[in-house]
Amino acid sequence: MAVFIRQTFELIERGRPHEIAASFTYGREDLIPEMFTQLVQGLEQQFPDKVATLRYYLDRHIALDGDQHGKMGRQMVALLCDGDACREQEATQAAVAALRSRVRLWDDIAQALEKSGKSA
């Protein structure tokens, strides 16, 4: 988890808006709808008819992130890059770094759960 947090704060400290926007848009907002959809499906299979309130909450996030935040984030990245090939490349690199960092975070979490004997 420390690597994920460090990478996030290094990006913020650099303060380059197009990189920050790309990292948060593609490394977070674009992932949330699919992640929450899978989470809701898994919870409903495990706990039928017991997660209605949580489902409402997660469905709201899915709708906001899928329909609004992701689209707005992509528009923001395009505006901040303003057609500049160098900024577009930097934004792409920031997004890829964010995704790799997130994958490592989840791998570390899965490994910790396996070590503790709590994996499914």
Residue with tokens 């674009």: 30
Q: Which two tokens stand for residue 78?
A: 């395009």
Is the pLDDT reported for residue 17 higher than 90?
yes
Ramachandran sector of residue 112 (left: φ over 0; alpha: ψ -120 to 50; beta: rest) = alpha
Q: What is the pLDDT of residue 52?
A: 86
Q: What is the pLDDT of residue 119?
A: 52
Q: Over the stretch 18-53, which tens digit does the pLDDT of each residue have?
A: 999 999 888 877 677 777 788 888 888 888 888 888
Sequence-distant (≥ 6) Cβ neighbours of residue 54 within 8 angstroms: 40, 43
Domain count, the chain: 1
Q: How confident is the model at residue 91 (pLDDT cuts 50, 70, 90)?
A: very high
Q: Over the stretch 55-74, which tens digit does the pLDDT of each residue have?
A: 888 888 777 777 778 889 99
Closest to 29 in 3D by CA, of 84, 59, 69: 69
CA 77/CA 87 separation, integer angstroms: 10
Q: What's the pTM value of the predicted model, to 2 decimals?
A: 0.74
CA 107/CA 46 separation, integer angstroms: 23
The domain of 112 spans: 2-116
